[in-house]
Amino acid sequence: MADTVTNERDWLASYDPRAYEPIAVTVDIVALTIRQGADGDAEKALHVLLVRRGEMPFAGRLALPGGFVRPVVEADGTRRDEDLGEAAERELAEETGLATGTRLDRVHLEQLGTYGAPGRDPRMRIVSVAHLAFAPDLPDPTAGGDAAHALWVPVADIDFRSLAFDHARILADGLERARAKLEYSPLATAFAGEEFTITELREVYQAVWGEPMHAGNFHRKVLSVPGFVEDTGATTARGGARGGRRARLYRAGPARLLHPALLRPSPEEDSR
């Protein structure tokens, strides 16, 4: 395939307004992590990264982080187009303020879907390519430019109707995708640290599915799926806070697909 790099000038040269409509393209991110609830809840809960909008439209409302796809300026001053995933990565780094940290490289990013209903942004025609990000317990966004107004919100606390644009729909689609992927992919390990216990893995499933799982059966099931997890040989330094046996530590295995799958306790009446 041709390796042509398109820049703004090239684009303008080839622009014929009768042939097509130039459209603003954005990437929006549904970034999910598992963390302790802000309240004194003992349970770990699923959180999503949201930003408080400062501008119209929807000023003051919560929205998914995101931004325009635009040419990036390299160190030497040249401009080049960025791929969609690249734009999503950039936005996520900006919003979390973790660009300089190393922890962002453990984030799993995948495309969720593209939303282009007319009128979805009252300002103009915008098509948004939504992405889904899965991350181990990330800290609160602090440093960095855009990060000041970003925050982790427990999914259970969100009033979907209050979200800006069509972000309720996008978030709902993202959550459903995440719930479905836990079944047949080793995605849950992306929410855990480099090394984790079976119990921690179970807490991921419980947080995303919102249902308690049977500890014993879960344990055996995970170990029975080839390539899901690998024994590190090590154990946790100590047992639970109030006593208890030390847990074996595992790392993510090579499997990209779980066979057999870990099915949800109550299969939903869903249409996808």
Name the site residues for its own copies (rule: CB under 8 A): 1-6, 8, 10-11, 14, 17, 19-26, 57, 68-71, 80-84, 111, 113-120, 122-125, 127, 129, 165-166, 185, 256-257, 259, 267-272
Give φ, ψ of 184 to 5 degrees.
-115, 0
Short-list 119, 214, 132, 112, CA closest to 165: 119
What is the nearest approach in angstroms of DNA to the Cβ of residue 256? 17
210 is a site residue for DNA (CB under 7 A)? no
Give the DSSP H or E segment for 133.
strand 126-135
Burial degree of 16 (CB within 10 A; 0-12, 13-18, 19+): exposed
- Cβ closer to its own copies: 151 or 168? 168
Q: How far is CA 95 from CA 26, 66, 145, 227, 238, in A?
A: 15, 8, 8, 34, 36
What is the nearest approach in angstroms of DNA to the Cβ of residue 41? 14
What is the nearest approach in angstroms of its own copies to the Cβ of residue 39? 32
Question: What does the alpha-carbon distance between residue 109 and residue 213 come to, in Å, rounded to a whole number?
Answer: 27
Give φ, ψ of 128 to 5 degrees.
-115, 130
257 is a site residue for DNA (CB under 7 A)? no
122 is a site residue for DNA (CB under 7 A)? no
**Amino acid at site 195:** E
Give φ, ψ of 150 to 5 degrees.
-95, 145
Q: Which of 54, 118, 145, 216 binds DNA (CB under 7 A)?
A: 216
**Site map for DNA, 169-198, x if CB under 7 A?**
----------------------------xx
- Please give the residue ranges that form the binding site for DNA (CB under 7 A): 197-199, 214-217, 219-221, 223-224, 235, 238-248, 260-263, 265
